[in-house]
């Protein structure tokens, strides 16, 4: 399928860039029913959506002979979540509209705002920018939206996730009501739908994602490992795939820093991206990836948003994504523009069920495989080495002379072995992993117990989830009442109406005496009961399930919000009120 009728100048630009046929999202926005209408487009990152909205807004911009008119104020505005994505969009629109005489201004953080204001004052027909910088120019009077014909929100879901709602609303409120609004988003959560209802009129919904929510050009894999083997699994995955560019995702900047240092020490050419890096450091890291000085990038979710690396073929989820949308955004860094990519989730044994549930919710079919072994990596190395050494190479006279000298000093076999050794010595060594067997998984569960907590005593408290019990105020309460430190407290288990915690047996009698004594000292009329428990929480929970929910009316109350727990017996809650009964619930004990 060739491009449908589009202005000839844009068609020439597409042909010069090698575009023979539109991608699904580009074809969809060029359909007759989409002409002149507001659009809500669900499209994966890397699906050609920048060119898609560039073509979609052509009818609002081009005038006689398919050229852009001179405009004192911008005719089109494209808003992107990150500096990198905004610069990428600006580059794409520059070549697409170059023959039409476009003047494009880019307004992003980290650039000189005075130069941006001059570009706006000289008459930019298309403005591309990030929400914060655009809002700043708008409030200072440098950005005039009075003539705006079309506004594009690129990766709108990410902009809302990053907290740009107020910026977007101020920008869109300043634009003419009759403008077109094109909203592009990989996912469609409720905040996106609310934004569309407020700022769009009779919008046409277009989805090119299909039933498979996962990206069609990405092969998903999941590997289960011992929690202590996560870093070793990362090393083996990098060595097995030897991707031209790989991106590793961690949850926090501290974990990014640690993994970056670990991989550097093991011989990988690696850079890091997180919130602690300045814009200059980000630029240097990305440039190192683009010019092949680095092949691995360790990043947090937010720091990697909007990054487009054409050679990225491997994504490793070192830490499990928090939800299906995060999985999709992370994995979408690869498999772009028709290229194939691989996304691998590293799953500690105890977290497999959670990951399986997340994959079902994301409608992603992942192949569960074992982590690459050192022998499998060496086999791959041999095949890759043979391909490299047998490639045709052009030699000069100096190469020929040196080869002749080597032939006089060593046998051909010795020279070949030296060449192989030189190539292999530059490769980081693979790691031995704990075998993925039922025995190893059981041992892993035992290893999760902290030293000194092999023999423990359970204590019970008469508050649970029905009273909004949560570790952030339960833990300080136990320390205060039991006269112990948090390091002397083991597991905390919160059930519906009770909470259990462990202490080492040698100090159990001291804790029991302290909680009895401090109960009398509590100023609250009805202090929380803390006492030794003869049973572990698992046995108590099993007995409660057998008995069913309490029916004496004391444990539950009904009001306008339905059936729920009482506001007692704990009256005070933590100071500050957030954890009080009736307040917002916090994390479960197993998440603490």
Write down the pLDDT at residue 555.
40
The H or E element that residue 245 is part of is: strand 245-250
- How far apart (Å, rounded) are the C-alpha atoms in residues 259 and 248? 9
CA distance to 29, 387, 486, per residue, from 63 (Å): 20, 54, 71
Domains observed in the chain? 8-207 (3.40.50.300), 218-373 (3.40.50.300), 456-591 (3.30.70.330)
What is the tally of helices (H) and strands (E) in the chain?
22, 20
- How far apart (Å, rounded) are the C-alpha atoms in residues 525 and 570? 10
* Contact indicator for 93, 56 with CB cutoff of 8 Å: no
* Contact indicator for 497, 565 with CB cutoff of 8 Å: yes
80 half-sphere exposure, CB direction, 13 A CA radius:
24
Per-residue pLDDT of the chain (592 residues; tens, 9 = 90+): 467 678 888 888 888 888 888 888 888 898 889 888 999 998 766 678 889 999 999 988 887 767 888 888 999 999 998 888 898 899 999 999 998 888 999 999 878 899 999 999 988 999 999 999 999 999 999 999 999 999 999 988 888 877 899 999 999 999 999 999 999 987 777 888 889 999 999 899 998 765 444 455 789 999 999 888 899 999 999 999 999 999 999 988 889 999 999 999 889 999 999 888 887 888 899 899 988 899 999 999 877 776 778 889 999 999 999 888 788 888 888 877 667 899 999 999 888 999 999 999 888 899 999 999 999 999 999 898 888 888 887 888 888 888 888 888 888 888 888 888 888 888 888 888 887 777 666 666 555 556 677 788 999 999 988 888 888 888 889 999 999 988 889 888 888 889 999 999 999 999 999 999 888 877 666 678 999 998 877 655 555 555 454 444 334 333 433 334 444 444 444 444 444 344 434 433 333 3
| C-alpha dihedral, 73 to 78 to 82 to 86, nearest 10° | -80
Write down the pLDDT at residue 558.
35
DSSP code per residue over 108-168: -TTS-HHHHHHHHHTT-SEEEE-HHHHHHHHHTT----TT--EEEETTHHHHHHTT-HHHH
Which of 248, 234, 209, 254 shows the shortest CA–CA distance to 362? 209
Tokens of residue 259, six digits: 């993994």
- Bridge-partner residues for 153, per DSSP? 79, 183
pLDDT digits 0-9 by tens, 257-297: 999 999 998 899 999 998 888 878 888 998 999 888 999 99
- How far apart (Å, rounded) are the C-alpha atoms in residues 572 and 587? 19
Write down the pLDDT at residue 340.
84
Write down the pLDDT at residue 406.
87
Give residue for tokens 């609002």.
Answer: 60
Answer positive or negative: Cα dihedral of 104, 105, 107, 112.
Answer: positive
- How far apart (Å, rounded) are the C-alpha atoms in residues 127 and 90? 8
| C-alpha dihedral, 100 to 103 to 109 to 110, nearest 10° | 110
Write down the pLDDT at residue 17.
85
Query: Is residue 483 packed enough to be buried (19+ CB in 10 Å), middle (13-18) or exposed (0-12)?
Result: middle
């Amino acid at each position: 399928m060739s491009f449908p009728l589009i202005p000839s100048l844009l068609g020439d630009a597409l042909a010069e860039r090698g575009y023979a046929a539109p991608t699904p999202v580009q074809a969809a926005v060029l359909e007759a029913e989409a002409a002149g209408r507001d659009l809500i487009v669900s499209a994966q990152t890397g699906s050609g959506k920048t060119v898609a909205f560039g073509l979609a807004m052509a009818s609002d911009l081009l005038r006689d002979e398919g050229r852009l008119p001179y405009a004192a104020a911008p005719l089109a505005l494209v808003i992107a979540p990150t500096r990198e994505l905004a610069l990428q969009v600006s580059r794409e629109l520059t070549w697409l509209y170059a023959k039409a005489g476009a003047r494009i201004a880019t307004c992003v953080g980290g650039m000189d705002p005075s130069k941006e204001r001059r570009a706006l004052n000289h008459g930019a027909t298309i403005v591309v920018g990030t929400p914060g910088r655009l809002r700043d120019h708008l409030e200072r009077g440098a950005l005039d939206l009075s003539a705006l014909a079309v506004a594009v929100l690129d990766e709108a879901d990410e902009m809302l996730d990053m907290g740009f709602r107020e910026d977007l609303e101020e920008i869109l409120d300043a634009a003419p009501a009759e403008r077109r609004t094109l909203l592009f988003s990989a996912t469609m959560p409720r905040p996106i739908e609310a934004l569309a209802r407020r700022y769009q009129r009779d919008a046409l919904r277009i989805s090119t994602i299909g039933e498979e929510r996962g990206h069609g050009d990405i092969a998903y894999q999941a590997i289960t490992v011992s929690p202590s083997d996560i870093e070793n699994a990362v090393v083996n995955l990098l060595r097995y795939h030897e991707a031209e560019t790989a991106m590793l995702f961690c949850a926090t900047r501290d974990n990014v820093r640690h993994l970056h240092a670990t991989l550097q020490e093991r011989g990988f050419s690696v850079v890091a991206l997180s919130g602690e890096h300045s814009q200059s450091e980000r630029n240097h890291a990305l440039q190192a990836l683009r010019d092949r000085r680095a092949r691995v990038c360790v990043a947090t979710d937010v720091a990697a948003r909007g990054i487009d690396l054409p050679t990225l073929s491997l994504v490793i989820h070192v830490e499990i994504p928090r939800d299906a949308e995060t999985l999709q955004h992370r994995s979408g860094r690869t498999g772009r523009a028709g290229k194939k990519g691989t996304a691998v989730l590293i799953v500690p044994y105890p977290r497999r069920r959670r990951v399986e549930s997340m994959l079902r919710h994301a409608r992603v079919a992942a192949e569960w495989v074992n982590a690459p072994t050192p022998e499998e990596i060496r086999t791959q190395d041999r095949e890759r080495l043979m391909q490299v050494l047998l490639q045709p190479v052009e030699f000069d006279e100096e190469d020929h002379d040196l080869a002749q000298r080597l032939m006089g000093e060593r046998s051909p076999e010795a020279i070949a072995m030296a060449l192989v050794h030189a190539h292999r010595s530059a490769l980081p060594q693979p790691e031995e992993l704990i075998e993925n067997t039922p025995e190893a998984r059981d041992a892993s569960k035992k290893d999760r117990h902290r030293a000194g907590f092999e023999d423990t005593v359970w204590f019970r408290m008469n508050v649970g989830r029905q009273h909004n019990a949560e570790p952030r105020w339960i833990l300080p309460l136990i320390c205060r009442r039991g006269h112990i430190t948090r390091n002397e407290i083991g597991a905390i288990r919160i059930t519906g109406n009770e909470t259990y915690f462990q202490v080492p047996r040698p100090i159990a009698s001291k804790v029991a005496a302290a909680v009895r004594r401090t109960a009398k000292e509590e100023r609250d009329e009805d202090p929380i009961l803390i006492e030794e428990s003869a049973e572990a929480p698992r046995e108590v929970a099993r007995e409660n399930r057998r008995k069913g929910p309490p029916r004496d009316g004391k444990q539950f109350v009904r009001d306008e919000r339905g059936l729920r727990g009482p506001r007692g017996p704990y009256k005070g809650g933590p100071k500050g009120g957030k954890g009080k009964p009736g307040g917002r619930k916090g994390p479960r004990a197993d998440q603490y």
